[in-house]
A and B are shown apart, each in its own frame.
Chain A
Amino acid sequence: MRYALSDPSHSSGAQAAAVKPYDEMMDPTGEVRPHYAALARRVASLADEDLAERQRLLERFFLLQGITFTVYGAESSTERIIPTDLLPRIIPATEWATIEAGLTQRLKALNMFLADIYSDQKILMDGVVPRELVLGAPSYRREMQNLFVPHQAYANVCGSDLIRKPDGGFAVLEDNLRVPSGVSYMLANREAAKRTFPGSFRMAGVRRIEEYPDLLLSTLRSMAADWRPNPQVVVLTPGVYNSAYFEHAYLARLMGVPLVEGRDLVTHDNMVYMRTTTGLRRVDVIYRRVDDDFVDPLTFRRDSSLGVAGLFNAYRAGNVVICNAPGTGVADDKAVYAYVPEIISYYLGQDAILPNIETYLCREPSQLSHVLANLDSLVVKAVGASGGYGMLVGPHATQAEREAFAEALRANPENYIAQPTIQLSTAPCLIDGAIDPRHVDLRPFILSADKIRVTPGALTRVALRKGSLVVNSSQGGGSKDTWVLGEGDGQEPRP
């Protein structure tokens, strides 16, 4: 198998494409980077059929495990697996050290920010972040004001989206502090990679991620440990039709805790109970995979049937812990994002280790006019939307699409932010039997309670369409395993 090192940023003809993306495996002179050397040799030694066979093995593994989503047709429904790429993405130890330090710093500051805005609001008083930006955000929850949160850990589970810029440095594209998903794919990809590339895996000295469920459980338990000696933890899922259901069941199974739906829980005297075969049983910590809006119909959306009536009052009374806390979304709001470097220096007195992407807030008239003048080179995002919806990728859009977006921008500027089109780094992928680079991002997972832990691994999301920069699974994205190497490993294969 030979590498076709083509430039994936072929089309568009925009200025942005003039910058060559960073390739994870090849340096600019076309040499394989040292940490990829062993894998590259292994792949080169395999015939096309061997690679195809391994890809089939991988897909069968996912199908058997039920890591699928259902495509509903008129007559019947079929099961599809989430597209998964065979070739792992490799990150050397030194680069990971920076990522780890940067993510720890960032989540620490964001938790302090949340604790502040839901109590004294010093940062707003000091004018570091505009008051109306925070208090006016749809994800700000007035109900959380002055509520005690153990360890001030509002976001217990965080999945940040990092990208690697053409100069090789990592930057944060987005923080996900609400109900980040994807960790099960990180773990399943790893299980599969161990079967498909056992030799290379062993030689590379990849750091373990398998403890994640144990660490998640101890994180959740520590949220109630001070007042309940042996806290009962549950995972709350919206149900089997949710696209992340596999993940909910997976985590519950690996943590050994019940997977509950809203209808399994009842509240009585501000306590939360689950219905078991032998009667009601007290619940202490709820790892909820249901959005804020749907957690409690009495407090938030009335039409929700996914949540538990009275849950928020039990939470307010201190009889149950909801993880992540309601209202954390305000810290990953796309407009608040622009202020994260200031937030870090305000609370920690440090410079951000991982930089932001330059962001224009369309609410500021001067920045709006800049955005309107440069629509063909910018990515414009709606503040409230996620999953790759409601966004315009300027260089790839038609003139008509840009004009329609400009209209929406002028009508409702505070609803939008804009960022330069970043050439995400590329990594080799197996596409239709040939190896071809595709754009990737990186989603590591960070746990926080009494302390902050970054799992040494990540979900690498892949934009499987050639040239595409959109990695969301709802928009034709896939994923691949991510190998974080230990110190001194992976440079040269051992004999």
Chain B
Amino acid sequence: MMLARVADSLYWIGRYVERAEHMCRLADVLLNATLDRTESSGQVADMVISAITDGQHDAPLSPWDAALAITMDSENGDSVTAALARARENARQVRDQLTTETWERLNLIYLRVTGEAAARDFSDAPSQFLHDIIADLHLFKGAADATMSHGEGWGFLQLGVFIERAQLIGKLLQAGFGRSLGRPVTEHAAMTALLRMSCALEPYLRKHTADIQPSLIRQFLMFDEDFPRSLRFSTARIEEHLSSVGRNVDLGGGAGPERLAGRLKARLLYADPEALGGEESDNLVATVLEECARLHAGIYDTFVAYSLEMRLPA
């Protein structure tokens, strides 16, 4: 049993911390790309910027400005600082539901990125700054895993994490390979950058060795069974957590978001990666993004903003 508002806040904490972590990696890769002046660095910058703007940018930003905006822009809800501030604001509203260990980690990160020294720390050593945030977010997730009950609240937190993750990786795949957004990446530097942004470089190398090819990267990010950021892995977790939090909800015979989650999981589980052409892969990624958006709305309607007439006690 858990308050609907609390479940909603936990879900959003999951989304925001995942977003913050992802944006840190994007900013870091972007800053790295500016270090060498090859053609591929331009390709990397284009890819990152189109991943965060859905290809809608009019005035092209310089990589440094883009990295700064991704990290520090307090207006933009997708920036690291804004995502962390929102995660912490949600955590404050459900402070009684988080263990002290978990809360302290998140509060500490928040105090650091919004502190007076933050802007200076970023411009002095941006990579270090971003790296520290990622490391702290891992501590947050570890503390939550080790100290929170893995019950309903945990389920909502994890749903937020994995829905956000599936969407972010999906957008990255579109930016890297989608035909609609200019040419697909082919340069070696751009391909490794894509793997770094997905935190996938080392797991990829272990699986495919240093044979770096666009088709293998795409397969890895979409269909790998064990890599925790692949679409297949994320959608399987979404289905798992949704069926556990939905166990006690009486939907009066109707189908809830669980059906969506089950179908989405099956699409990736039973797809044939080898036989999938470029365009079909594009379509599958687009479907994942759409279904995640529907799941997001479905979770809200089923668990949080349900109509009272349906649920009055007998």
Residues of A whose CB lies within 8 Å of any CB of B are 63-66, 76, 79, 239-240, 245-246, 249-250, 252-253, 258-261, 263-264, 266, 268, 273-282
Contact = CB atoms under 8 A, between A and B. Distances in A.
Contacts of A245: 92
A64 B313 contact: no
Nearest to B2: A277
A276 B4 contact: yes
Nearest to B310: A279
B103 to A, nearest CB: 7
Contact of A275 (B3, B94, B100): B3
B179 interface: no
A277 B245 contact: yes
Contacts of A240: 89, 92-93
B114 interface: yes
A249 B311 contact: no
B293 interface: no
Contact of B3 (A246, A249, A250, A264): A264
A282 B313 CA distance: 9
Interface string B152-190: 100010000000000000000000000000000000000
A63 B245 contact: no
A252 B96 contact: yes
B249 A279 contact: yes
A72 to B, nearest CB: 13
B64 interface: no
Contacts of A246: 95
A266 B114 CA distance: 37
Interface of B: 1-7, 74, 89, 92-97, 100, 103-104, 107-108, 111, 114, 152, 156, 245, 248-250, 303-304, 306, 308, 311-313
Given A79-B111, A279-B249, A66 B95 contact: yes
22 contacts: A63-B111, A64-B108, A66-B92, A66-B103, A79-B111, A249-B95, A252-B96, A258-B96, A259-B95, A264-B5, A274-B3, A275-B3, A275-B4, A276-B2, A276-B4, A277-B152, A277-B303, A279-B249, A279-B306, A279-B311, A280-B311, A280-B313
B308 A266 contact: yes
Given A252-B96, A279-B249, A76 B4 contact: no
A24 B95 CA distance: 37
Nearest to A281: B1
Contacts of A278: 1, 248-250
B92 A277 contact: no
A65 B92 CA distance: 11
A253 B4 CA distance: 17
A263 B313 contact: no
Nearest to A75: B74
B104 A65 contact: yes
Contacts of B94: 259
B5 A263 contact: yes
Nearest to B93: A240
Nearest to B247: A278
Contact of A280 (B92, B100, B308): B308
B94 to A, nearest CB: 8
Main secondary structure of the interface of B (DSSP, over half): helix
Contacts of A249: 92, 95-96
Given A66-B92, A66-B95, A278-B249, A76 B3 contact: no
Given A240-B92, A258-B3, A275-B4, A280 B104 contact: no
Nearest to B1: A276
Residue with the greatest number of chain A CB neighbours at <10 A, chosen from B74, B95, B248, B308: B95
Contacts of A258: 3, 6, 96
A213 to B, nearest CB: 12
A426 B5 CA distance: 46
A66 B2 contact: no
Given A264-B4, A264-B5, A273 B92 contact: no
A277 B155 CA distance: 12
A68 B61 CA distance: 38
A259 B93 CA distance: 9
A278 B3 CA distance: 9
A277 B4 contact: yes
B100 A277 contact: no
Given A258-B3, A261-B5, A264-B3, A279 B96 contact: no
B304 A277 contact: yes
A234 to B, nearest CB: 9
* Residue from B3, B7, B89, B249 whose CB has the most chain A CB atoms within 10 Å: B3
A260 B2 CA distance: 11
Contacts of B4: 264, 275-277
A274 B4 CA distance: 9
A277 B111 contact: no
A276 B2 CA distance: 5
A279 B114 contact: no
A245 B95 CA distance: 10
A252 B7 CA distance: 16
A283 to B, nearest CB: 11
B250 A279 contact: yes
A353 B250 CA distance: 59
Contacts of B303: 277
Given A64-B107, A266-B308, A76 B249 contact: no
Nearest to A235: B96
A279 B306 CA distance: 8
The 8 A-B pairs with the shortest beta carbon distances in the complex, nearest first, are A249-B95, A279-B311, A253-B96, A252-B96, A277-B303, A275-B4, A278-B248, A259-B96
B308 A260 contact: no
